[in-house]
Structure 1
Amino acid sequence: MTNTNPLVSIVTLTWNTTPVTCEFLHSLNRENTYKNVEVIVVDNGSKEDPTATFKEIYPDVKVILNGKNLGF
């Protein structure tokens, strides 16, 4: 059986705002009913790597780590 629902990518940017991004991920867990979705968090050079924290909340999240703050 093929999936007729197109893949939706949700991309968000973070920089030293792990708690805010965690609340966003919690909200997605509570509110999202669409099944074919990928969540990508781009970390813009935060002081600490937030990957483990994000994956605790949203295990399928893809995290891209920039080595420095590249701006918006």
Structure 2
Amino acid sequence: MKADVAIVIVTYNSAGEIAECLESVFAQRESVTQQVIVVDNDSKDNTVDLIRADFPEVELVIPGKNLGFAAGVNLGARHADAEFVLLLNPDTVILDHAVDKIVRFARKTPGHGLYGGRTLNPDGTVEPSSCWGEPTLWSMA
């Protein structure tokens, strides 16, 4: 069955952060179905073992070499079977049912090729580079 959203995460030596990321992803399941794909870029730490042991529902893709981030994302996206694809970094922690909210928003405002959420800094402030308002002449220059 096709998922509502495929969440693609590319890892490289991410054992110290991927567990919190995946825990937050799986804690967010509300009204949308998720396919979670992790592409591991030849980690030398225990990232792969940790995912296999603690998150068996993750679709783990192991290309056998470090493809780099962009190629890793593309590989993960090729494995996706969902209406939407959400890209996350392994140090991301999802808050406030953000996956459900962004999927609902995308469905209410179709026709755009890209949607994104706000990124918060560790102190809770909004990272300005993660969100923009309406375009202005100044921002488009």
TM over 0.5: yes
Instruction: State whether structure 2 residue 71 is matched by structure 1 residue 71.
Output: no
Q: How high is the TM-score relative to the length of structure 2?
A: 0.42
Question: 2-side partners of 1:36 and 1:52: how far apart?
Answer: 25
- Would you tell me which structure has more strand in proportion to its own residues? 1
Instruction: State whether structure 2 residue 4 is matched by structure 1 residue 41.
Output: no
Unaligned runs of 5+ in 2: 70-141
Contact 1:9 1:39 in 2 (8 A): yes
Alpha-carbon distance, 1:54 to partner: 1.3
Q: How many matched pairs?
A: 68
User: Higher RCO, 1 or 2 (CA under 8 Å, sep at least 6)?
Assistant: 1
Report the RMSD for the aligned CA atoms in angstroms.
2.1
- Would you tell me which structure has more helix in proportion to its own residues? 2
Counterpart selection for 1:15 from 12, 17, 28: 12
Unaligned runs of 5+ in 1: none
Q: How high is the TM-score relative to the length of structure 1?
A: 0.73
Q: Percent identity?
A: 35
Alpha-carbon distance, 1:49 to partner: 5.4
State the SS of the aligned residue for 1:45.
Answer: coil
Q: Which structure: larger Rg?
A: 2
